[in-house]
Amino acid sequence: MATQRIGIIMHGVTGRMGYNQHLVRSIQAIIQDGGLLLSNGDRLLPDPILVGRNGKKMEALAKEQGIARWSDSIEQCLANTEDTLFFDAGTTQMRSDLLSRAIQAGKHVYCEKPSADTLENALAVARLARKKGVKHGVVQDKLFLPGLLKLKSLIDSGYFGRILSVRGEFGYWVFEGDWRKAQRPSWNYRKADGGGIILDMLCHWRYVMDNLFGSVQSVSCLGARHIPERWDEQGQRYDADADDAAYSTFQLAGGIVAQINSSWCTRVKRDELVTFHVDGTHGSAVAGLTSCVTQHRVNTPKPVWNPDVPNQIDFQASWENVPDVEVFGNGFRAQWEMFLRHVVEDAPWQYDLMAGARGVQLAELGMQSWAERRWLDVPELES
């Protein structure tokens, strides 16, 4: 058994998602486990270099994580032929330019979503990657959640019969930042900085619907700016002019109707921060981050509407848990491992930059639908 090295340029890992999920729980976890086991028995050992504009912050983060390499120059990192993969989890507005520069330098690229701030930019970077012949991928982490993996197993088994509808609820209360510190970065709520929940979350819902339920054919979306002012990381008040809630309906292939609410202005009264309720002719299910419960047609209660009589049915009792029949690891790490295998041994991979572009397309159509107050069809993208 031999050990292979792969040099990874990691940008944007000082942010919450980049630090926790990509650096610590993915790349560092793979390193700590002795590398990624390849099909030939070799071990692939990531060798990251952390890069960002603030050199002192990069140096401190590298020291904290026991990582030998850091830099404040993306140009120097991209010039190093020993590092073959570029990863970005920075701000959306910077992404397409950074990816394009990395692709031009011959690097394989992997990034958070949205893959760009506009569909034009998303398509341009996807086509550039294809033209240059580099491997490319976009994080689509919701597909690797234990709850949605359980839901997919139900779909694949034919449990639902014919799927009729999907109802998604996502969100939680993000504090304004004046009397209690906000738990999301302030740029999320400024339009000029690429903020807004439609651009952020409809990219997610596109790949969830396309991969689990059916391709998205049309969209109707109503956005909202519920909280007009917030306070940033320095305690300074600012105008929150980006949308902080989206109420969307989608028509999917096969006649399936999906309704998904996304909000940073809602207080949670459900089991998890995101849930998907799927109804089918033979059964229903509700999946969250980790759990999934089902109700088959033979276990479905028979309520009768009568507002004059107190309800006698315990509706919660007739749902059954889908058991944990396998161990589900961290979803971000699982997708990192898939992409690394794709890079070094050409293993199958479907979550490329064109998939990222489809997410940006749906977000743009959602914003257009809101502005024009009408349904919009979702055309096929030419690769």
Give the pLDDT band of residue 290 (cuts 50, 70, 90).
very high
- The answer to whether residue 136 sits within a structural domain is yes
User: Would you say residue 382 has pLDDT above 90?
Assistant: no
Domain shared by 209 and 241, yes or no: yes
- Beta strands 274-280; 163-171: pairing state: antiparallel
Has residue 352 been placed in a domain? no
Condensed to tens digits (0 to 9), the pLDDT of residues 215-224 reads: 999 999 999 9
Separation between Cα atoms, residue 139 and residue 300, nearest integer Å: 37
Same domain, 311 and 163: yes
* pLDDT band (50, 70, 90) for residue 158: very high
Residue 355 included in any domain: no
- Place 163 in a pLDDT band, splitting at 50, 70 and 90: very high
Residue 42's pLDDT band (cuts 50, 70, 90): very high
Could you write out the DSSP letters of every residue in 17-77?
HIIIIIIIIIIIHHHHTTSEEPTTS-EEEEEEEEE-S-HHHHHHHHHHHT-SEEES-HHHH
Question: Is residue 146 included in any domain, yes or no?
Answer: yes
Q: Are residues 152 and 298 in the same domain?
A: yes
Q: Find out whether 248 and 203 touch, Cβ atoms under 8 Å.
A: no
Are 147 and 12 contained in the same domain?
Answer: no
What's the whole-number mean pLDDT along residues 231-240?
A: 97
Residue 379 lies in a domain: no
- Number of domains composing the chain: 2
| Residues 345-362 pLDDT 10s | 999 999 999 999 999 999
Does one domain contain both 133 and 205?
no
Q: Is residue 378 part of a domain?
A: no
Work out the number of other CB atoms within 10 angstroms of the CB of residue 383. 11
Give yes or no: residues 97 and 204 share one domain: no
pLDDT at 242 over 80: yes
Co-location of 79 and 208 in the same domain = no
pLDDT of 1 strictly over 80: no
pLDDT at 295: 98
Q: What would the DSSP string read from start to end of 162-216?
A: SEEEEEEEEE-BPP-SSSS--SS-GGGG-GGGT--HHHHHHHHHHHHIIIII--E
Statement to judge: residues 269 and 178 lie in one domain = yes
SS3 content of the chain, % helix, strand, coil (to 5): 40, 25, 35
Tell me the sheet residues that pair with 203.
Answer: none
- With a cut of 90, say whether residue 325 has pLDDT above it: no
Confidence tier at 326 by pLDDT (50, 70, 90): confident
Q: Inform me whether the pLDDT recorded for 383 exceeds 80.
A: no
Give me the chain's average pLDDT, please: 96
Q: Give the model's confidence band at 5: pLDDT under 50 very low, under 70 low, under 90 confident, else very high.
A: very high
Name, in order, each residue with C-beta under 8 angstroms of 214's C-beta and a sequence gap of 6 or more.
163, 252, 253, 254, 256
pLDDT band for 327, please (50, 70, 90 cuts): confident
Domain holding 110: CATH number?
3.40.50.720
Q: What percent of the chain has pLDDT over 70?
A: 100
Q: Looking at the domain assignment, is residue 382 inside a domain?
A: no
Q: Are residues 106 and 183 in the same domain?
A: no
The Cα 345–Cα 108 span in angstroms is 13
151 vs 299: CA distance, rounded Å: 18
Do 166 and 36 share a structural domain? Answer: no
Q: To the nearest whole percent, how much of the chain has pLDDT over 90?
A: 95
- On the question of pLDDT at 43 being above 80, the answer is yes
**157 in the same domain as 42:** no
Domain that holds residue 7: 3-140+332-347
- Rounded CA-CA distance 372/146 in Å is 37
Residue whose structure tokens are 């580099």: 134
Q: Is 21 in the same domain as 83?
A: yes
CATH number assigned to the domain comprising residue 316 = 3.30.360.10
All residues at 6 or more sequence positions from 64 whose CB lies less than 8 Å from its CB, including other chains: none
Per-residue confidence band for 39, with pLDDT thresholds at 50, 70 and 90: very high
Q: Is residue 354 part of a domain?
A: no
